[in-house]
Homo-oligomer: A and B are copies of this chain.
Amino acid sequence: MNSLIDALRAQGLRATPQRAIIFEALEKLEGHFTAEDIFAEVQQVNPYISLATVYRTLELLQNLDLVTSTNLGGNQTYYALKDHCSHHHLVCQACGGIEEFCDDIFEPVRVMLAEQYGFEARTDHLSIFGLCKKCRKAGQN
């Protein structure tokens, strides 16, 4: 459970309560969330933790490879605990809903990109935009 503490120690970094609280918030909030989301969650535990610390800790956690950041198209950055099995996002342009889908759908694409372009795709930060099931039915155009 203390993967965070361990990771920090391993790097000679300090295990502060702020970092622990922020990390717990990340575990609690499943899925993808903004710095503000995390800040709000964190403040319920300790209202004196600052937003700057949240940002600094998120950057730290990215360096430790525990957190990923993604830009889902808007103006804010979305963060998530780095997942074991990589997955992608289906972002609905109508309702803004985010759904995840499994990486193996991309296997054919990865292969083709490697063959045709020599490009090694790291498909862990992928977002696909479009219309989700619900909005397709609702709109029907």
Contact surface of A with B, Cβ cutoff 8 Å: 71, 73, 90, 92-93, 99, 101, 105-106, 108-109, 112-113, 116-123, 125-126, 128-133, 136
Q: Write the chain B residue with the least CB distance to A93.
A: B122
**Are A122 and B129 in touch, CB under 8 angstroms?**
yes
A122 to B121, CA, bound (A): 20
- Each complex incorporates copies of this chain amounting to 2
A42 to B3, CA, bound (A): 52
Q: List 25 A-B contacts (CB under 8 A).
A: A71-B73, A93-B122, A99-B117, A99-B119, A101-B113, A101-B116, A105-B113, A106-B109, A108-B108, A109-B109, A118-B133, A119-B131, A119-B133, A120-B130, A120-B131, A120-B136, A121-B128, A121-B129, A121-B130, A122-B129, A122-B131, A123-B128, A123-B129, A125-B129, A126-B129
